[in-house]
Structure 1
Amino acid sequence: MIVITTPTGQIGRQVLDALLDGEQQVRVIARDPSRLSARVRERVDVVPGSHGDRDVVMEAFAGADSVFWLVPPDPRTDSVERHYLDWTRPACEAITRHGVERVVAVSTLGTGIEKNAGHLTASVAKDELIKSTGVGFRALRAAAFMENLLGQADSIRDQGIFHLPSRADRVLATIATRDIAAAAVRLLLDDSWNGQAGVPLVSPDRLSPDDMARIMSEVLERPVRCRPVPLDAYKEAAVSRGASEGWAQGLVDMAAAQIDGAYDAEHHSAQPSPTGFRQWCEEVLRPAVLV
């Protein structure tokens, strides 16, 4: 039995879709089961509720061999690290109680991020908590999601601008979420591995935001440029959208770590994933922008 968290989320949905037609039994935890398609509800076992709830994960992990774990965001929380840990503690109890053999979790690329790196630090702390159970564990150490740009589709279409809290000329490691999901599926279907390790996930590109803008301009056939956002303005924008002070500061600290080179070492050494930025722009960004 494979348990999938966040089955309607950006990555969890793709993991679930890839597993639906296989022979392995699948169970999902869904806060709102009505958001699952009829096809999903017909083929999988659904446990309603939040996977941050102890009773829910206790029920869902019973009889499970493997778990796909992802902590969802909560911009209202006062502490990013406390959010990641509080969400994961009940799962660790359920992992131990039910003898789950393997956990595959979405984590982050980066070195030197154990402290003062905001969301990156929180994700590492979550990994350490899961590892403390002794379960077989693979942390999918993902770079910045290409899909984060989809939230700026209107600005790209109407103004030819996207914003990043980064230097426009500094290489930024990225990854398509399809490649994160594919890595998760491979591990969830493989019952031969054990131990605990990280799996760095980066695209085959080495692009700066300026390079990304050039590719976007070519694919969209219209001028696009990156407008760097100062970190203080980045924080103010997050707060204005309803984020707590703690969540917004976590975003700033993460961006500062990326600017300071947190991704660089693994970006150079990691085996690249299949999807390049141009392919992603053609297949994902272009349809989203040119609606």
Structure 2
Amino acid sequence: MKIVVTGSLGNVSKPLAQRLTQEGHAVTVISSKPDKQPDIEALGATAAIGSVEDADFLATAFAGADAVYVMIPPNFTEPDQVAYYRRLGNNYAHAIRQAGVKRVVGLSSWGAHLDRGTGPILGSHHVEGILNELPSVALTHLRPTSFYTNLYGFVGMIKGAGFIGANYGGDDKVAMVHPRDIADAAAEELTASAAPGQHIRYVSSDECTCNEAARALGAAIGKPDLAWVLFTDEQMQESLEKNGVPASVATGVVELYASIHNGRLGEDYEQHKPVMGKVKLADFAKEFAAAF
């Protein structure tokens, strides 16, 4: 198959491209950075250098593809995250129509079923809606749970304050996923036959409470008493802004974390749980310790 992968050599896109090329597919990886071309070609893939902000470039890159994987690259400099998601979602939809692609796998998020109260994930809700308007396309929305790799964002707090803190924590239950497990799910979907229409697949690796996550990470880094402290929304907003996060972006993060704390983010996931992936919390704790 001829498959196009967006996301350059990111945490999901790189292992996805690796798996697809190893399986013998002709893979094109889209990247905005020319210096990534040698690394993409080293995987056995073709590099298409350009911006996902350019819908015509995308249409050219998608031409002749049997399947495409689309994702919205994180860009926290955008003051309106939802508008950013909608803009790129429309670019993808334009390119898919122009190129006549019939199989599409999109990286979405748990919580994308909600039309309010999820901070930046509201962008994924809108992108799903935009892509759902595509006619005669077999479309799978991948809805991963919280990325393990998001926990790297707490390294500075652990080193400086000696604990993890957010406006979700304690005994709050969280489903977490490793990018490699998302890549495996994406590869399966891209290469499987599917009827036209919309399909949803949740992807998760493990489930735990925040306290359990803190204990696992703490044990791995030699801090067995590491705690995950539950902040108020106001404390979380203040903490983010003190660390240089723009107020509008911080507000979105606080809203997202609050939806984990109150359970709304995971309500649909709880009704459609997937088979868990391979990388468990204990496995990721070793990766975290190596980076710590």
Instruction: Give me the TM-score of the superposition, normalised by structure 1.
Output: 0.89
Specify the SS of the correspondent of 1:68.
strand
Unpaired runs of 5+ in structure 2?
none
Contact 2:112 2:125 in 1 (8 A): no
How do residues 244-283 of structure 1 correspond to structure 2 at under 5 angstroms? 244-262=246-264, 263-267=266-270, 269-274=272-277, 275-282=279-286
For 2:106, the equivalent position in structure 1 comes to 105
For 1:209, the equivalent position in structure 2 comes to 210
Contact 1:20 1:40 in 2 (8 A): no
How do residues 1-291 of structure 1 correspond to structure 2 at under 5 angstroms? 1-38=2-39, 40=41, 43-110=44-111, 113-134=114-135, 135-156=137-158, 160-205=162-207, 207-223=208-224, 224-262=226-264, 263-267=266-270, 269-274=272-277, 275-282=279-286, 284-289=287-292
Which letter does structure 2 place at the counterpart of 1:106?
Answer: L
Deviation at residue 161 of structure 1 after TM alignment: 2.2
Q: CA RMSD in A?
A: 2.3
Unpaired runs of 5+ in structure 1?
none
Deviation at residue 44 of structure 1 after TM alignment: 2.1
Deviation at residue 269 of structure 1 after TM alignment: 4.1
Which letter does structure 1 place at the counterpart of 2:142?
Answer: L
Deviation at residue 203 of structure 1 after TM alignment: 2.7
State the alpha-carbon separation in 2 of the partners of residues 38 and 120 from structure 1. 30
Contact 1:80 1:246 in 2 (8 A): no
Contact 2:8 2:29 in 1 (8 A): yes
Deviation at residue 115 of structure 1 after TM alignment: 1.8
Specify the SS of the correspondent of 2:169.
coil
Residue 36 and residue 96 in structure 1: after superposition, are their counterparts in 2 closer, same or farther (change >3 A)?
same
1:76-129 C-alpha deviation (Å, 9 max, x unpaired):
222221110101211101101111011111111137621232222211111110
Instruction: Give me the TM-score of the superposition, normalised by structure 2.
Output: 0.89
State the alpha-carbon separation in 2 of the partners of residues 19 and 33 from structure 1. 22
Specify the SS of the correspondent of 1:63.
coil
Deviates further, 162-171 or 126-135: 162-171
Which letter does structure 2 place at the counterpart of 1:5?
Answer: T
Specify the SS of the correspondent of 2:275.
coil
Between the aligned residues of both structures, percent identity stands at 23
State the alpha-carbon separation in 2 of the partners of residues 112 and 62 from structure 1. 31
